[in-house]
Structure 1
Amino acid sequence: MLQELTIKDFAIISDLNLSFYSGMTVLTGETGAGKSIIIDAVGLLAGGRGSADFVRQGAERSVLEGQFFVGPKLLGPLTEELATFGIEIHDGVVIVSRMILKNGKNVCRVNNHLVNIQVLKRIGHFLVDIHGQHEHQELMKVERHLDFLDQFGQEQVAEIKDTYQEIYHRYQVLTRKLKEVRTNEKENAQRMDMLTFQKQEISDAKLQVGEEKQLEKERQWFMNYQKISDALSSSYEALQGNEFSSLSQIGLAMDEMDGIQELNQEYQHLYEEIASSYYQLEEASRSLKVELDSVELDESRVNFVEERLNLIRQLKRKYGDSEEAILSHYERVVQELDATLTAGDQLEQLADELDQVEEALQKAADQLTEVRKITAKKMEQEIIAQLKDLYLEKTVFEVKFQKKVWQRTGQDDIEFFISTNPGEPTKPLVKVASGGELSRVMLAMKSLFSESQGITSIVFDEVDTGVSGRVAQAIAEKIHYIATNSQVLCITHLPQVAAAADHQYFIEKEVVDQRTETKVGELNQTERVEEIARMLAGEVVTDLSRQHAFELLKLSK
């Protein structure tokens, strides 16, 4: 229930603090005094749409704050909802504040935690249900009838509906995926051709890491073949080409020094150095001979190296800047080909899985329809009973079903039918019900929902407009009955409704310092008699109207 409400600089309200109680509370006063402004403030605390137009002229901001107490029925679900936003609740108390700045910016807090409007609306759904004059127009929207039915049978419908919606979500995912796979079949075939070619091209190349570097080295040797051959030949010729070659001359010097090495230690040293050089050059000469004999230009090998290098360069241009990159691309191609080759299998698997999901979805849809039809029968009976209390005792109310394709809400099209005249067939509610009848049907639904939903506060904003006499009395009793399950705040111009309330506030406008302000005060018993008498008589209150007001209050008690 709403316990405290603070309003500052909001429309024509400068500063207002109100305390509310359980049961039924009515707000009365002249038209334009500001009753609906108070309801607007409560609606904004529940996440309603706000704008800078609400800021009082001359003020920088409007500040609204409400303290709600949540009963046991909603405490668990609300605690879970708040926990998802990191908000704690203590002793069932929720404090909601909203600041609307002159520039249109909104600052919202729940239990001192900043939240956005969407979060505030989700939380406000647990706290306040505002039913204004236009709310009965929701009954004129056929697409809302299913929501009303599910709301009525929430305990029975919710679980199977959740199950259905889980399967339906899987059905949507599979349907989209299957469509994508089928759409891409042609593109996949074209890509498979390209991947197959790439795989074959790289595979045929039998590329080895480091091969290009080795081939470049070999090519470099071919390019310098003549230079190498000439150098080897000339070097060998210089060392051993004839009897006057360098090696033979050094051998002669070695023989001469060998003859005198024993005469002097220095000569021996010279002999050893010359002998060492001779043997080293002799070994080099043999190596030169081997190299010279092996040097031969293989034209076929030259052509192979050139062709191989050209192939590697082509592969690098297509698939990467190194042998490693080309081979990595090859691995990716192989993997994608494997995946693409299994696309046909995937398509078959998806189709099989979709068949299974469709079967499960139809089963869940049938179960949901069955539960809804049971709920609808109960709703029909209880709405008819409620309408009897509202002097629509001859009314027949029906919930009619039609099957549609699978949607998120199920496979049911729901529409309310009604007949208010005996012997007449039921017809669509949206086509035949009058405004007064719509209001009473909606009030009947609120009576039913107030028991099951446990909403903290229900607000009725002039839902009794256009009725009088015994119907007004019946509406007053119905609203009071709703207040036995939820706190009710009600704006009314009907004395019967005002008299049925447990508490009554009088709202009026005053001019203070040349500014219009709304004032609110709770009425005691004597003041209530006077206010209800004014509602009965109009401008001039007579003793008879006071007596009538007193009787109304007495009867209500």
Structure 2
Amino acid sequence: MLQELAIKNFAIIHDLALSFEKGMTVLTGETGAGKSIIIDAVGLIAGGRGSSEFIRHGAEKCTLEGQFAVEGNPATHALLDKYQIDIEEETLIIQRDIHRSGRNVCRVNGRLVNIATLREIGESLIDIHGQSEHQELMHSERHLNMLDQFGDEELIALKRTYSKAYQEYKEIEKTVLNSQSSEQELAQRVDMLRFQTNEIEMAELTVGEDVTLEEEKNLLSNYQKIVESLNVAYGALQGEEYGGVDLVGNAMSALETIEDIDSSYKRISEIISNSYFQLQEAASDILKEQDQLAYDENRLNEIEKRLEIIQQLKRKYGESIKDILVYYEEISIELDNILNRETHLSRLTEELEAIKKDLVKQGKQLTRKRKETANQLQTAIQEQLKELYMDKVQFEARFLSAKESETSIYESGLDHVEFYIATNLGEPLKPLARVASGGELSRVMLALKTVFSKTQGITSIIFDEVDTGVSGRVAQAIANKIYKVAVHSQVLCITHLPQVAAMADNHLYISKAIVENRTETSVNKLKDAEQINELARMLAGTEITKLSIEHAKELKDLAYKEKQGNVNQA
């Protein structure tokens, strides 16, 4: 749910900080005070399309920041894991800066993200529904997903199993299509693969040989330096006149004569004695190395040529000999598949048909479950529409046949589902997006939101004047429906209807004033008495009367009773 919202230099808002709570929060105020601007700000935090036109006049950028509690929202957590965004104490902070140049800077918990990632995360947190924003209902391709949202764990498991089989099917299908490429392309590919396999085979590579060759090359390249250094070292240790070993031996002999006199002499004697024998061993090792030294210019040339061959292959086929040999195995298999493609293609085609057969079987199981779910959804929607005084409306989640669909196999299953509706008794069912009016769509969407709010997972739902153009009992029905959604999800609602405002758990009043020749928007959280006054203003207009106050109190009391009933039903 949305906990905090900070807005700076956005439209007519200079600097504004808001706190939101659970349940249903309404935003009311005079037209133009900035109610929709606040919702626009929330939409931009959720990844909506930004523009430098949003920036307050005279400022170089606007800054929007929202804090969300995401406990119990697995969809958001999955996205945070996907994009490796850390989260602590189940709190998510989203910040978006829009610069005058048009540049957008978006951060999620301090990590920079692009607009697409922000939008993906935002859609798991916030659902904004305005009077002209019926996107899900107006796009029939989204209806199947909406139906699945209503499904139970069994439907989810069937979708997961089908999806896994579908991915396997598509991978093999891609392989089959590649195998059916034109003869000219295959011939060119064969020529290239033969050249590459022959080149690698002729090199007769061995893992690690490049390291061994480099070491041997290093020795041969530094032969003269090694000889000179060994000679100097051996002369210093075993020189005929002043050999270091003999001199240390003299010191050792001298100290051995007094080592029994004092422990300190014994300690020094032991150190020199150990050094003497170590130096003798070192001198012997140097002599052996000198005897083994041999310079072979031809061998050095051979090594350099071999290393050059290996380096050329590395540039073409991999960073190491191991990588080259792995590549060799891959292209050898591919070459064999092409040369024996008829056999391989026949095997793959049989495998593809077997998987397709199993995929269709799983798809039919998924379809049967979806049709059960569709019946339950239709019943639930009809009940909600009846409460919205649309009891004559017929609603159906219709499964289109294969003839009406482009193909019988989809990534999401075998089904193409579209919502159909008949708004008047005796009329045939027609596609919802082409039949319903704006007001009817609003009520249908409210019915869907009420049904889906328990399973949807969205933590914050925003209704932006969806009650425009209604009154009387329909207004009260809409108010009840919005509150029912708020029982399971945080709801923010901009409204001009007192019936809706009366249902609020929290009431924010938006106003504007002129400060230093600039329009400023402010927000006040209304207390009980202030709520009554605002309801009276909404009922009576500009002049609040004693009668409108009484009516407002009555409306608030009725709303309280209705809310208690909704909570008990939940």
TM-score, with length taken from structure 2? 0.69
* Structure-2 residue corresponding to 1:367: 365
How do 1:360-439 and structure 2 match up within 5 A? Answer: 360-404=358-402, 405=407, 406-439=409-442
Amino acid in structure 1 at the alignment position of 2:9: D
Q: Measure the CA separation in 2 of the matches of 1:523 and 1:191.
A: 75
Note the aligned Cα RMSD (angstroms).
2.7
* Structure-2 residue corresponding to 1:52: 52
Deviations 1:399-439 (A, max 9, x none): 21123321222221212222344454433323332222211
Deviation at 1:337, TM superposition (A): 6.9
Deviation at 1:348, TM superposition (A): 1.1
Deviation at 1:119, TM superposition (A): 2.0
Amino acid in structure 2 at the alignment position of 1:533: A
Q: Measure the CA separation in 2 of the matches of 1:348 and 1:362.
A: 21
SS across alignment from 1:477: helix
SS across alignment from 2:469: coil
Deviations 1:307-334 (A, max 9, x none): xxxxxxxxxxxxxxxxxxxxxxxxx999
Contact 1:454 1:485 in 2 (8 A): no
SS across alignment from 1:411: coil
* Structure-2 residue corresponding to 1:86: 84
Contact 2:130 2:466 in 1 (8 A): yes
Q: Measure the CA separation in 2 of the matches of 1:29 and 1:457.
A: 21
Is 1:66 matched with 2:66?
A: yes
Deviations 1:368-404 (A, max 9, x none): 2111101101100100111111111233221211233
Q: Give 1 or 2 for the bigger CA radius of gyration.
A: 1
1:451 aligned to 444, 449, 454, which one? 454
* Structure-2 residue corresponding to 1:552: 555
Q: Measure the CA separation in 2 of the matches of 1:445 and 1:494.
A: 21
* Structure-2 residue corresponding to 1:537: 540
TM-score, with length taken from structure 1? 0.71
Change in 2 beyond 3 A, CA 1:519/1:186: same
Q: Measure the CA separation in 1 of the matches of 2:538 and 2:445.
A: 25
Change in 2 beyond 3 A, CA 1:45/1:554: same
Deviation at 1:156, TM superposition (A): 4.0
Q: Measure the CA separation in 2 of the matches of 1:142 and 1:334.
A: 48
Change in 2 beyond 3 A, CA 1:538/1:346: same
* Structure-1 residue corresponding to 2:27: 27
Deviation at 1:134, TM superposition (A): 1.9
Deviations 1:523-547 (A, max 9, x none): 1222222221221122232222222
Q: Measure the CA separation in 2 of the matches of 1:59 and 1:365.
A: 56
Q: Measure the CA separation in 2 of the matches of 1:163 and 1:185.
A: 37
Amino acid in structure 1 at the alignment position of 2:349: A
Change in 2 beyond 3 A, CA 1:520/1:353: same
Q: Which contiguous aligned blocks of 4+ residues in structure 1 show a shift greater than 6 angstroms?
A: 189-196, 332-337
Q: Measure the CA separation in 2 of the matches of 1:334 and 1:122.
A: 42
Change in 2 beyond 3 A, CA 1:535/1:147: same
Change in 2 beyond 3 A, CA 1:58/1:352: same
Amino acid in structure 2 at the alignment position of 1:374: E
Deviation at 1:357, TM superposition (A): 1.8
* Structure-1 residue corresponding to 2:295: none
Change in 2 beyond 3 A, CA 1:185/1:475: same
Change in 2 beyond 3 A, CA 1:5/1:193: closer
Contact 2:337 2:344 in 1 (8 A): no
Amino acid in structure 1 at the alignment position of 2:554: E
Deviations 1:42-100 (A, max 9, x none): 111112121211111111211111111123x31x4433431333322222211211111
| Number of residue pairs aligned between Structure 1 and Structure 2 | 423
SS across alignment from 2:417: strand
Amino acid in structure 1 at the alignment position of 2:459: T
SS across alignment from 2:454: helix
Q: Measure the CA separation in 1 of the matches of 2:417 and 2:188.
A: 49
SS across alignment from 1:454: coil
Unaligned runs of 5+ in 2: 198-329, 561-570
Change in 2 beyond 3 A, CA 1:168/1:195: closer
Is 1:127 matched with 2:125?
A: yes
* Structure-1 residue corresponding to 2:527: 524
Deviations 1:128-166 (A, max 9, x none): 111111222532332222222122226443332233233
How do 1:171-190 and structure 2 match up within 5 A? Answer: 171-185=169-183, 187-188=185-186
More displaced, 167-176 or 462-471? 167-176
Contact 2:76 2:125 in 1 (8 A): no
Q: Measure the CA separation in 2 of the matches of 1:61 and 1:334.
A: 58
How do 1:107-118 and structure 2 match up within 5 A? Answer: 107-118=105-116
More displaced, 9-18 or 338-347? 338-347
Change in 2 beyond 3 A, CA 1:417/1:187: closer
Is 1:483 matched with 2:481?
A: no
Unaligned runs of 5+ in 1: 200-331
SS across alignment from 1:87: coil
Change in 2 beyond 3 A, CA 1:516/1:184: same
Contact 1:403 1:411 in 2 (8 A): no
Contact 2:507 2:525 in 1 (8 A): yes
Contact 1:78 1:123 in 2 (8 A): yes
* Structure-2 residue corresponding to 1:267: none
Q: Measure the CA separation in 1 of the matches of 2:22 and 2:192.
A: 76
Change in 2 beyond 3 A, CA 1:336/1:8: closer
Amino acid in structure 2 at the alignment position of 1:510: A
Deviations 1:321-361 (A, max 9, x none): xxxxxxxxxxx999987554312211112211211121122
Is 1:166 matched with 2:164?
A: yes
SS across alignment from 2:397: strand
Q: Measure the CA separation in 2 of the matches of 1:78 and 1:432.
A: 35
SS across alignment from 1:458: strand
Amino acid in structure 2 at the alignment position of 1:86: Q
Deviations 1:238-276 (A, max 9, x none): xxxxxxxxxxxxxxxxxxxxxxxxxxxxxxxxxxxxxxx
Change in 2 beyond 3 A, CA 1:194/1:491: closer
Is 1:17 matched with 2:21?
A: no
Amino acid in structure 1 at the alignment position of 2:56: R
SS across alignment from 1:407: coil
Amino acid in structure 2 at the alignment position of 1:48: G
Amino acid in structure 2 at the alignment position of 1:26: V
* Structure-1 residue corresponding to 2:515: 512
Change in 2 beyond 3 A, CA 1:188/1:454: closer
Amino acid in structure 2 at the alignment position of 1:24: M
Change in 2 beyond 3 A, CA 1:448/1:194: closer
Change in 2 beyond 3 A, CA 1:152/1:193: closer
Q: Measure the CA separation in 1 of the matches of 2:188 and 2:126.
A: 60
SS across alignment from 1:167: helix
Deviations 1:487-526 (A, max 9, x none): 1100001110011111111111211111111111111222
Q: Measure the CA separation in 2 of the matches of 1:189 and 1:42.
A: 58
Contact 1:79 1:88 in 2 (8 A): no
Amino acid in structure 2 at the alignment position of 1:121: R
SS across alignment from 2:468: coil
